[in-house]
Structure formats: structure tokens, C-alpha cells
């Protein structure tokens, strides 16, 4: 087995290039600025889409956006766009990424996105299963000898223009992205093939972040739900007073 890369602190699972930027680009930039190793795995190349010249353009857009956010790595699994389905092979492919990059925290889709791509919900199911598969022992033959890796925490994001919370999950946390909102918007704007024809998209993403932040009295925020509740011994830190 080849030597494994340096572990990640956070790994975001996206169905398509641009999902991570729209959902949580501000948080990823803030984590990277703080010295955390942050990565993204795009399950598909996002193609075909009406205004793109093809996978190469999408890859170039994703690479540029990743540089703006300060990502330590980004990989693509080449699963089929528009036909993404939760299955054992898809779960194993993502679990191998978890075992390779060994993230402490995994973040991904948390619910259906009605009237948007059904790939999003399939990505959520694949991610949930892969977090479980990543920690399973006595199954080495399925993982090319990669070591077991237990993910410590799993969070769910929502797309920025969706509801402020995930209605099915009570364990929400808002992350103040006032200092990185402009970077988030710059990263979203990299996806010209997806958004140049949507002339109000940056205004909508900004407005959603500001509206989410207003709930907690900050300039802009992104909302996350926890797969399981977690606790802190640092009350003042959790309250933003540390």
C-alpha cells in the first residue's frame, strides 16, 4: 500500500462541482484561514449541463474556486451525473476516500432538494453509508487494504438558497462567515458555466447568508445540522464569547 497523504480536518462531500461553494464556502474559507486542512470530494463531474463546454471547463472552474477557498485537496469520483444512485459500489468508492484522507469531520447534504437535482439526496445517502463503511473492520478486501478510519463528527449542510434550517433535524449550528462571505461569492462566481446566465445568483447567495446571520445577530452565516448531537465543555467558546 502506498503512503497515505496528510489527514484532513474537514472533508465536504458534494454531488457536483459548485455544491460545496454554494452550501458552505464561507465556512471552508474560514477553516482554511485558521490553518485547518480542508478538502472537497465531488461525486460527479456535473456534466452534461446546458451552458458548459464539458468536464474540462467544470474541472477548471472547481480548481479556481478551490484556490480561492484555500482547499488542501479536491478529488472527483466520476460517478454519473443525473444518474447518481446510492449503491454498494458508490458507498465503497466514497469510503475509500475517507480511509485515504482520514477526515475528522465530514459534511454533506442533509435532505432532499425539491425541484433541484435528485443527485443531492442520493449523495446524502451515499455519504451516510460511507461514513459507516469507513469504520468497518474485517472487510479489508473491499478497501484495497486501506486502514479503518472512524469519522469523529458528521454534519449536514443546506444549499444557500434553501430554507435556513433542515426541518427534519433539531441540532443546528450557525457559523459566522461575516469575514469570508466575499470569498464565498468569489468562489461561486468561478462557475461561469453554471451561473453566468443566472444574473441574480450572487445576490441570492449573499441575501441568504445575511438572512441566516441576522437570526444570530451577525453579518452573515451558514447553517449546519449535526447527524448526532454533540457537547462542549467550553460554554463561552460555544457562545462566541471565548
pLDDT digit string (tens) for 4-60?
A: 999 999 999 999 999 999 999 999 999 999 999 999 999 999 999 999 999 999 999
Give the pLDDT score at 163: 67
- Would residue 35 count as lying in a domain? yes
Cα–Cα distance between 135 and 73 in angstroms, integer?
22
Core vs surface per residue 144-168: b (16+ CB within 10 A) or e:
eebeebebeebbbbbbbebeebbee
Q: Is residue 45 part of a domain?
A: yes
pLDDT band at 114 (very low <50, low <70, confident <90, very high): confident
Residue 168's closest CA among 156, 160, 176?
Answer: 156
In a domain, 218, yes or no: yes
Would you say residue 228 has pLDDT above 70? yes
Mean pLDDT in residue range 102-127: 95
For residue 55, the domain's CATH number is 3.40.50.10320
Whole-model pTM: value is 0.95
Contact between residue 39 and residue 101 where contact means Cβ atoms under 8 Å apart: yes
Total of domains in the chain: 1
* 217 domain residue, yes or no: yes
pLDDT higher than threshold 70 for residue 63: yes
Q: Are strands 73-79 and 38-44 parallel, antiparallel or unpaired?
A: parallel
Domain interval for residue 90: 10-238
pLDDT at position 191? 98
Residue closest to 74 by CA, chosen among 137, 12, 158, 160: 12
Q: Is 94 part of a structural domain of the chain?
A: yes
Residue 56 within any structural domain of the chain: yes
Mean pLDDT, rounded, for 165-171 = 81
Report pLDDT for 149: 98
Mean pLDDT, rounded, for 220-232: 93
Question: Is 4 within a domain?
Answer: no
User: Which of these, 79, 99, 108, 81, lies nearest to 12 by C-alpha position?
Assistant: 108
Tens of pLDDT, residues 72-106: 999 999 999 999 999 999 999 999 999 999 999 99
Q: Check: CB of residue 66 under 8 Å from CB of residue 19.
A: no
Report residue 199 CA to chain centroid gap.
Answer: 24
pLDDT in tens, 124-164: 999 999 999 999 999 989 999 999 999 999 999 988 777 67
Question: Residue 23: what pLDDT?
Answer: 96
Domain assignment of residue 3, yes or no? no
* Distance, CA of 159 to CA of 78 (rounded, Å): 22
Among 41, 45, 78, 39, CA closest to 61: 45
Which residues, including other chains, have CB under 8 Å from residue 54's CB and lie 6 or more apart? 47, 48
pLDDT at 1 over 70: no
DSSP at 142: G
Amino acid at each position: 500500500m502506498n503512503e497515505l497523504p496528510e489527514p484532513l480536518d474537514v472533508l465536504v462531500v458534494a454531488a457536483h462541482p459548485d455544491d460545496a461553494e454554494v452550501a458552505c464556502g464561507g465556512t471552508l474559507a474560514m477553516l482554511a484561514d485558521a490553518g485547518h486542512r480542508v478538502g472537497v470530494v465531488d461525486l460527479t463531474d456535473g456534466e452534461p449541463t446546458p451552458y458548459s463546454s464539458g468536464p474540462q471547463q467544470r474541472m477548471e472552474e472547481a480548481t479556481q474556486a478551490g484556490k480561492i477557498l484555500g482547499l488542501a485537496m479536491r478529488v472527483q469520483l466520476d460517478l454519473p451525473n443525473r444518474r447518481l444512485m446510492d449503491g454498494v459500489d458508490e458507498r465503497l468508492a466514497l469510503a475509500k476516500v475517507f480511509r485515504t484522507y482520514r477526515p475528522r469531520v465530514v459534511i454533506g447534504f442533509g435532505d432532499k432538494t425539491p425541484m433541484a437535482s435528485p443527485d443531492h439526496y442520493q449523495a446524502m445517502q451515499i455519504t451516510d453509508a460511507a461514513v459507516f463503511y469507513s469504520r468497518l473492520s474485517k472487510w479489508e478486501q473491499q478497501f484495497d487494504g486501506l486502514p479503518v478510519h472512524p469519522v469523529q463528527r458528521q454534519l449536514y449542510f443546506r444549499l444557500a438558497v434553501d430554507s435556513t434550517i433542515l426541518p427534519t433535524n433539531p441540532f443546528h449550528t450557525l457559523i459566522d462567515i461575516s469575514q469570508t462571505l466575499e470569498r464565498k461569492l468569489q468562489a461561486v462566481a468561478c462557475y461561469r458555466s453554471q451561473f453566468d446566465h443566472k444574473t441574480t445568483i450572487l445576490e441570492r447567495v449573499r441575501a441568504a447568508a445575511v438572512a441566516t446571520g441576522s437570526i444570530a445577530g451577525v453579518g452573515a452565516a451558514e447553517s449546519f445540522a449535526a447527524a448526532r448531537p454533540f457537547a462542549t465543555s467550553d460554554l463561552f467558546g460555544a457562545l462566541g464569547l471565548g
